[in-house]
Amino acid sequence: MKNYQKYQRGYFMPPVNELKWAKKEYIDRAPVWCSVDLRDGNQALVVPMSLEEKLEFFQLLVEVGFKEIEVGFPAASETEYEFVRALIEKNLIPEDVTIQVLTQSREHIIRKTFESLKGCKTPVIVHLYNSTSVAQREQVFKKSKEEITEIAVSGAKLLKEIASEMEGNFLFEYSPESFTGTEPEYALEVCNAVIDVWQPTPDRKVIINLPVTVEMSLPHVYASQIEYMSDNMNRRDSVVLSLHPHNDRGCGVADSELGLLAGGDRIEGTLFGNGERTGNVDIVTLALNMFSHGVDPKLNLENLPFIVAAYERLTGMTVGERSPYAGRLVFAAFSGSHQDAIAKGMNWREEKHLDGWSVPYLPIDPHDVGREYESDVIRINSQSGKGGIGYLMEKQFGYDLPPKMREVFGYAVKSVSDHLHKELSPDEVLDIFLKDFINVSDPMKLMECHYVQRNGIEAEVTIEMNGDTLVLAGHGNGRLDAVCNALCDRYHPGFSVVTYKEHALEKGSKSRAISYIEISDGKTSSWGAGRNTDIMTSSVYALISAINRLEKAGK
């Protein structure tokens, strides 16, 4: 690419860079979460949500557990104004939820914002902002640092004045928009000037929000900026330090996590990262990252498929199939080695009766977010292996195939998937087993079988073969051995049963038995399975299935 030289780093490292955050191992508690889906998220949609859709989305956010929700910029449009009024007039805001509204630091916009809040019975955060970056100062506003500071201070004074005159519980938030392109010393100066106007106390804090309005640096730079601000901010014990990362460099989650380590108390973001350009930070990913470290995220994401479906319906957006935690394929294992490791890990947990989670390739238990092992984890295609296919057959359908048979059946399944060039559903995998391995009656079909005990067991087996009815006799040390001698001596001399396994498919007196048999002459082998309410009959069916599969293979 030819034009790389025209791009320059437009961010600033702080004058003091102690890197205390780098010594912390993990985030040990959830931040205050503030959803901005109804503002940043909504304004980024091709078709913004209707009033009814926004009301439903608000209820979804409440159900997920957000206690702070930015509901819009009421002075920006009549639609946003009406939405705020609808929430208030219809008494839709729960007592434990604080709504947030956004306003520029301009008098008529501030007054219109407060007008929209009349009669609100619950606390409201009034979020004031003005841009402070070098680029915005020079190119957009053409104002000095002193003039930009005055915009922030005058807005802060007006918020305080109007709030004191109105009935209601108003909390204040300030954002130096384009913080990441602002010299840290100057950003600190502006924020401290606003704090000095509002005079917060530990019992009545203000929010200082430091946004990654446009992502410009590596995440460690943002963390260093946050640490500097946190260490040097006036009345720090009376300030909630908030982060608002966007995702232009694809590092929104990393910015947020390192920013929390560096002193952040609060996160503003959206479900699944919807927002302007490449989006806001994905709160679902952040919350479940904490969850995977054993930290309560303070959000209810136990039915993630429901949340995804509601989000997609209301916004018209799509959650990517590989989006962390929420994507349709994020728990799916197609690779044979991955499937085998997962299956063994799951069995290990069952055998050891473990409560803790440590399963290869699964960072969290899919059940914890409403996903299913059988349909979401073990996915079957031409790349699948015997472990995953065997695990699926056992856990979903009750067939515990012997290890060597799993390999044979696995190749059969992969062959079908490869031929059809598609993933196979669990039912399609079962159909292959039922059709090709269980009670196979072509070309040989069992009609009846009788046993007599005489120096061992004598078996008389009646079969139908190529339209002919034949009665065959065999002798052995057991019923199955006698039947095997009767059939194999006639059709495959030298073959004998080398592997046998049986188990019940269901509990109870009427349960069906399933038998698995491998016959071999030492060089060639064949597997079959039989199912019947009588264990002996299921064994004979399995033997005949193995013979029939050998016959078909020979053709």
Helix axis angle for 219-232 and 252-261, nearest 10°, is 30
Residue 373 has pLDDT above 80, yes or no: no
pLDDT value of residue 342: 87
The mean pLDDT value of the chain amounts to 94
Which pLDDT value is given to residue 508? 59
Residue 538 C-beta-side C-alpha neighbours within 13 Å: 20
Q: What is the pLDDT of residue 509?
A: 56
% of the chain at pLDDT higher than 90: 84
Q: Give residue 519's pLDDT.
A: 96
What would the two tokens of residue 468 be? 């002919």
What burial class does residue 67 get, using C-beta atoms within 10 Å of its C-beta: 0-12 exposed, 13-18 middle, 19+ buried? Answer: middle
Helices 145-165 and 184-198: crossing angle in degrees, nearest 10, is 20
**Amino acid, single-letter form, for residue 153:** V
CA dihedral 180, 185, 190, 191 (to 10 degrees): 80
The DSSP H or E segment spanning 538 is helix 535-554
**Cα gap 61→38, rounded to integer Å:** 10
Arithmetic mean of pLDDT, 237-251 = 98
- Residue 552 in this model has a pLDDT that exceeds 70: yes
What is the rounded (10 degree) CA torsion for 337, 341, 342, 346? 150
What percentage of the chain carries pLDDT values higher than 70? Answer: 99
Round to whole Å and give the CA distance between 274 and 218: 21
For residue 507, the model assigns a pLDDT of 60
Backbone phi and psi for residue 332, each to the nearest 5 degrees, phi listed first: -75, 135
Burial class for 279, CB neighbours closer than 10 Å (0-12, 13-18, 19+): buried
Supply the DSSP symbol for 475. E
pLDDT of amino acid 441: 95
Q: Is the peptide bond before 14 cis (omega within 30 degrees of 0)?
A: no
- 524 within 8 A of 550, measured Cβ to Cβ: yes
Rounded mean pLDDT, 303-329:
96
φ, ψ at 401 (rounded to 5°):
-70, 145
User: pLDDT digit string (tens) for 445-475?
Assistant: 999 999 999 899 999 999 999 889 999 999 9
Tens digit of each residue's pLDDT (9 = 90 or more) over 478-509: 999 999 999 988 889 999 999 999 999 876 55
CA angle 186, 187, 192 (to 5 degrees): 95
Tokens of 82: 């009406």
pLDDT tens-digit readout, 127-183: 999 999 999 999 999 999 999 999 999 999 999 999 999 999 999 999 999 999 999
Q: Which of 332, 327, 314, 227 is nearest to 282 (CA)?
A: 327
Q: Tell me the C-alpha to C-alpha distance, in Å, between residue 488 and each of 321, 407, 408.
A: 52, 24, 21
d(CA 404, CA 401): 8
What count of residues does the chain have? 555
HSE on the CB side for 9, CA within 13 Å? 7
Whether the pLDDT of residue 399 is over 90: the answer is yes
Rounded mean pLDDT, 249-265 = 98
| 8 Å CB contact between 227 and 261 | no
Phi, psi of 191 (to 5 degrees): -60, -40
Provide the sign of the torsion angle of the four alpha carbons 378, 383, 387, 393, taken in this order.
positive
Amino acid, single-letter form, for residue 277: R
Q: Are strands 444-453 and 457-465 parallel, antiparallel or unpaired?
A: antiparallel
Would the pLDDT of 72 be above 90? Answer: yes
510 pLDDT more than 70: no
Instruction: Give me the pLDDT at residue 37, please.
Output: 98
Dig out the tokens for 22 from the structure. Answer: 């780098």
Residue 374 above 70 pLDDT?
no
pLDDT-derived band at 369 (thresholds 50, 70, 90) equals: very high
The token pair that represents 241 in the structure block: 């330090």
d(CA 304, CA 247): 22
Q: Could you tell me how many helices (H) and strands (E) the chain has, helices first?
A: 17, 14
User: What is the spatial distance between Cα 491 and Cα 124, in angstroms, rounded to a whole number?
Assistant: 85
Half-sphere exposure of 103 (CA within 13 A, CB side): 31
Q: How far is CA 89 from each of CA 82, 110, 118, 385, rounded to the nearest angstrom?
A: 10, 21, 10, 59
Amino acid at 369: V
Domains of the chain: 18-315 (3.20.20.70), 336-430 (no CATH), 444-554 (3.30.160.270)
Residue-by-residue DSSP string for 425-450: -HHHHHHHHHHHTBS--SSEEEEEEE
Q: Residue 555: its pLDDT value, please?
A: 62
Q: How far apart are CA 415 and CA 53, in angstroms?
A: 47
Per the DSSP assignment, residues forming a β-bridge with 362 are: 359
Q: Residue 315: helix, strand or coil by DSSP?
A: helix
pLDDT value of residue 332: 86
Res 336: pLDDT: 76
Distance CA 369, CA 303 (A): 5
* CA gyration radius, the chain: 34
Closest by CA to 129, choosing from 163, 173, 160, 161, is 173
